[in-house]
Structure 1
Amino acid sequence: MIHIKQRPKLDIPKTAAEKFANIIGYSVFIGGSIYVIINFPSLPAEIPMQFGADGEVNRYGSPYEMIILLALPFILIPGLELLERFPQVHNYPLRMNESNAEAFYLNSRTISNFAKNACLIIFAIVFIEITNYGLTGTSTFGPLLLPLILILALGPVFWGLWQRWKIK
């Protein structure tokens, strides 16, 4: 076991999968944000701001609440980027040692990267759902919204922990 203060600071280049995930995550997020910004002037006085598990609207609010929703990722994502860049401060199992530290760091950084990009995609999906519902009065994702968000939110973590379990 390596104590946190004794953990090496390794320079591990980003993998192709991490680079690809960044391209997809940021592209989808930027696209969803642009979609909201372009359609913002056309939104009605009340738009859906909360959806139930069945995809039905639970609460309506002002389109100006979208500004808060658009601002949240700009607070969240820099923190997730920082977490991704310093894998030596992450939590590891007792079986981590000097011979497998690089594998654990890479695994943890990949989980962080995929989770960050999944968050970006989730924000974009929510932006699109709210905007489309406001413009058309119909849901884009409907009852698939919650399962889609859960898969995106939990998928990278479960996949990463399964991969971590294989590290010797």
Structure 2
Amino acid sequence: MKTNRPKVKVPFEPLDIVVDLISVTLYILMIVYTVINYGDLADTIPTHFNGKGEADGFGDKVYVWILPIIGVFTFVLLFVLNKYPHIHNYMVNITEENALKNYRFSTRIIRFTNLFVAIIFACIQYMMVEQGKGNTTEFGSWFLYSIIGISVILPIFLFIYQRKINK
């Protein structure tokens, strides 16, 4: 993939560091929580939840490691992708004048996406472990509606903001 976009290094700002640290912390806590509680899990644990937050799919307790593995893998891939903002997709032509602000915006979107995924995975992991231990824990339908709402509203906000920074 060849582009003529300028290669500008986007410096870390405090917000970037905090967001990445929160994401990493969530994954570490998710793994530690799972390790601590793994011995208390039943042989069969919930692996899928319906729209009401009730378990409707079950599997071997080894499946409790899927979310932490996928989450860490996703975090690392997106973290590395953020090192190369010139290869991201943009709705505007990137020039020397607008490169830094568009690259910063794009890397922030990826950072917050990483955080959003970490929060969702941590919540689901918590439910899987708690229900795998025999505790009755449900998030209810608000969890699904919140995810859908954020997933619809956030791109609209991002589209409007990107148009604003490129006027």
Structure 1 residue ranges (4+ consecutive) displaced by more than 6 angstroms after TM superposition: none
Amino acid at match of 1:76: T
> What is the CA distance between 1:161 and its match in structure 2?
3.1
> What is the CA distance between 1:153 and its match in structure 2?
5.5
Q: 1:155 to 1:121 in 2, by over 3 A?
A: farther
Picking from 40, 43, 56, the partner of 1:42 is 40
Establish whether residue 109 from structure 1 lines up as the match of residue 141 from structure 2: no
> What CA deviation, in whole Å up to 9, does each residue of 1:41-83 have, x standing for no partner?
0001211100011111111111111123332123222211121
Q: What SS is found at the alignment partner of 2:56? A: strand
> In the aligned structure 1, how far is the partner of 2:76 from the partner of 2:36?
25
> In the aligned structure 2, how far is the partner of 1:48 from the partner of 1:125?
14
Unaligned ranges ≥5, structure 2:
none
Unaligned ranges ≥5, structure 1:
none
Percent identity, aligned pairs only, is: 27
Picking from 2, 5, 24, the partner of 2:3 is 5
> What is the CA distance between 1:17 and its match in structure 2?
1.3
RMSD of the TM alignment (CA)?
2.1
Q: 1:94 to 1:149 in 2, by over 3 A?
A: closer
Aligned pair count? 165
Give 1:52's aligned residue. 50
> In the aligned structure 1, how far is the partner of 2:96 from the partner of 2:69?
41
Give 2:60's aligned residue. 62
Give 1:15's aligned residue. 13
Give 1:88's aligned residue. 86
Establish whether residue 125 from structure 1 lines up as the match of residue 123 from structure 2: yes
Amino acid at match of 1:32: M
Q: 1:155 to 1:109 in 2, by over 3 A?
A: farther
Q: Is the 1:108–1:160 contact (alpha carbons within 8 Å) kept by the matching residues of 2?
A: no
Give 1:71's aligned residue. 69
Q: Is the 2:42–2:134 contact (alpha carbons within 8 Å) kept by the matching residues of 1?
A: no
Amino acid at match of 1:118: F
